[in-house]
Structure 1
Amino acid sequence: MEEMGVNDNYIQGWVAGFLNNPEIEEQRITDEWESGFEDGKEHTDSNFTNFT
């Protein structure tokens, strides 16, 4: 994902979701992070190209 230029917030959210980490503080959540978190929880990588 990093080599393809995917948004950093998406990647961080994806990793957090994949590892079942708790959500970050509400004021720090971005749309990109939230989408990554949901995709990570589902263990899917099919949506990350939307965030390049």
Structure 2
Amino acid sequence: MNQTYYDAVTKMEEMGCDEEYIQGWQAGFLQNPEREEQRLTEAYEAGYGDGKEKSSDNFANWAKS
């Protein structure tokens, strides 16, 4: 497994990021196809886009405080 991927997922979990965001980020990072339309959420789509870009810049926006 890619260390960048592992570190990012660990960081999101430690920050308490929205589960939908994490799942989207993982799918985007791994270049999996996006979910079917009726199962998309704002958090998932945001995570998918960030994961595709391999970006951790928005993690804090999805952390539950």
Instruction: Check whether TM > 0.5.
Output: yes
The answer for unaligned runs of 5 or more in structure 1 is: none
> Greater relative contact order: 1 or 2 (C-alpha under 8 angstroms, separation 6 or more)?
1
- Among 9, 13, 17, which residue is 2:20 paired with? 9
Larger Rg, first or second structure (1 or 2): 2
Q: Distance in 2 between matches of 1:4 and 1:39?
A: 16
- Structure 1 or 2: larger helix share? 2
Q: CA deviation at 1:48?
A: 1.1
Q: Which residue number corresponds to residue 57 of structure 2?
A: 46
Q: Which runs of 4+ in 1 moved over 2 A?
A: none
Tell me the matched-pair count: 52
Q: Taking every aligned residue pair, what percent have the same amino acid on both sides?
A: 60
TM-score, scaled relative to structure 1? 0.96
TM-score, scaled relative to structure 2? 0.78
